[in-house]
Structure 1
Amino acid sequence: MTDAARPPASDTPPLDEYVGDPAVRAQWDERYGADPDRLWSGRPNGALVAEVADLTPGRVLDVGCGEGADAVWLAGRGWDVTALEVSGVALERAARHAREADVAVRWVHAGLAEAALPPGSFDLVSAQYPALLRTPDGSAERALLAAVAPGGVLLLVHHAGMETHVPEPGRPDPADYVWPAVVAALLDENWQVEVDEVRPRVVPEGGAGSHHADDIVLRARRLR
C-alpha cells in the first residue's frame, strides 16, 4: 500500500463510512453490544505472539480486529498497523484501547472483501479466529491472499475441528465460513507453507472463547 493510498492513523474510527453487508455489521454490533464492557480478554492472541516473534516489524493488516488487543500489541512493538472490523461497537472500544496505550492504528470499518485494499500491501496479514463468510467466488479467502506483499506472511489461526462441527439449532453453520484448510487449498507455487498444524491454544484469562482448547495455525509466506 503506498503512502498515498494508506489511510492516516486516527484516534477515531470512521464509523459513518462502513463498507460491507449491513446485516453482518448489525449481527456483530449486537454481539458486542450485549456486553457493556468488553467481549474478549483485552490481551493479544497467543498464536500471534508466538508466530511474529521472528518477524521484522513492517506493515500489518489485522483482519477482524475486534476490540483491538492484537492491533494495539503489534503497534506497541513497532508494526505499522491497519485494523479492519465490521462492528462499529468493537471499533470504538479498539480505538479507546489504542488511545490508552498511546499507539497509532489505522481503522478500517469494512468487510474484508468489500474493503478493496490495494493488493500486495502488507508484510503480515493476521486473521485470528476470523468470522469470514464463504461466497461462491471465494472473495474473502482470495482477499486474504491478495493483501500479502511479496516476501510477506499470511497468518491464519482458528479453532481446531470447528469446520466439521454440527451446528446447534439457531446457531451459525461452521460450513458457511472460511477455515484454514480452505485457504491452504488455494496456495500455489507462489507460496511456501511454513506452519500448518494443530497445537494447544494459549488462552488469555477472561473473555469469550476460552472453552476452545486447540488451534489450527496456518502460516504461509508469499514468494512472489
Structure 2
Amino acid sequence: MDSHAWDTRYATSPDLVWTAEPNRFVVEETADLTPGRALDLAAGEGRNAIWLAEHGWQVTAVDFSPVAIARGRNLARQRGVQVDWQVADLTTYEPPADTFDLVLIAYLHLPAADLAAILHRAKRALRPGGSLVLVGHDRANLTDGIGGPQDPTVLQTPETVVAELDGLRIRRADTARRPVPTDGGTIDALDTVVVATRP
C-alpha cells in the first residue's frame, strides 16, 4: 500500500490501528541495551518509538504516513515523552551515517530490493557498537501462522535479512512465534527476528 492508502486506513480507524503497547520482540531485544540515540524506521503510530523514549532513548521516528505520524505525536504528548517525528518515504530516506545506537525496523514489508537498500542505509546509520533490530512477518506465516501480508514477495526470512547485513555481527536470526488471540482461541503468528551489532 502507498502512503495515501495508509493515511486512509489510519484516518478511518477511531482507535489506534495497532496497539499502543510495544512489540514483544522489540522489548525483549532492547530492554538491556544502554539508552542512546534510536531510529525507528516505519514507525507507524509510534508504539515502539514511544516505549523507547519512555525508557530513556532519544528517538527519531520515521514513517511515510502523515496521519500515522500525527497520531504518534499525539500519543507521545499524552504519555509525556519527546520523539522527533519525521514524515519520509523510506525508499529514498537517507539517515545520517554513524549516528544511532539502535536502528529498529518493525513490520516493514517491501519487495526484496527495496528492503535491501533500506537495510544497507540502516547499517550505515549505526554507530560502532550500535544494534539493528528487525521484526517482520515471516514467509512461513503464510502456511503455518496467522495475519500479515499474503504476498510472499514482501515477506521475510532470517536468511534473506541476514544476507543484507554483511559487516555486522549477527546476535539473533530466527523465526519466532507470537501468540495472537482470536475468536477461536490463540494462534501463533510467525515472525522473522534478526538482531545484529556493528563492530
Q: TM > 0.5 between the two?
A: yes
Q: Look up the equivalent residue of 1:55 and give its one-letter code.
A: L
CA change 1:202–1:211 in 2 (3 A) is closer
Matched, 1:198 2:175: yes
Q: TM-score, normalised by structure 2?
A: 0.84
Q: Distance in 2 between the 1:66 and 1:39 partners?
A: 9
Q: Distance in 1 between the 2:135 and 2:44 partners?
A: 15
Q: Distance in 2 between the 1:64 and 1:137 partners?
A: 12
Aligned match for 2:53, one of 53, 61, 75 = 75
Q: Distance in 2 between the 1:172 and 1:216 partners?
A: 15
Matches within 5 A, 1:163-182: 173-176=151-154, 180-182=158-160
Note the C-alpha offset of 1:145: 1.9
Note the C-alpha offset of 1:172: 6.5
Matched, 1:160 2:138: yes
Matched, 1:130 2:142: no
* Structure 1 vs Structure 2 CA RMSD: 2.6
Residue of structure 1 in register with 2:93 after alignment: 115
Note the C-alpha offset of 1:34: 3.1
CA change 1:27–1:179 in 2 (3 A) is farther
Matched, 1:38 2:16: yes
CA change 1:77–1:48 in 2 (3 A) is same
* Larger relative contact order (CA 8 Å, sep ≥ 6): 1
Q: Which stretches in structure 1 are left out of the alignment for 5+ residues?
A: 1-22, 166-170
Match of 2:113, SS?
Answer: coil
Q: Which stretches in structure 2 are left out of the alignment for 5+ residues?
A: 144-148
Note the C-alpha offset of 1:137: 9.5
CA change 1:27–1:220 in 2 (3 A) is same
Note the C-alpha offset of 1:148: 1.6
Aligned match for 1:218, one of 165, 169, 194 = 194
Match of 1:135, SS?
Answer: helix
Matched, 1:60 2:42: no
Matched, 1:84 2:66: no
Note the C-alpha offset of 1:176: 4.0
More off after superposition, 30-39 vs 77-86? 30-39
Q: Does the CA-based 8 Å contact 2:139-2:155 persist in structure 1?
A: no
Greater percentage in strand:
2
Q: Distance in 1 between the 2:82 and 2:25 partners?
A: 23
Percent identical: 38
Match of 1:187, SS?
Answer: coil
CA change 1:52–1:144 in 2 (3 A) is same
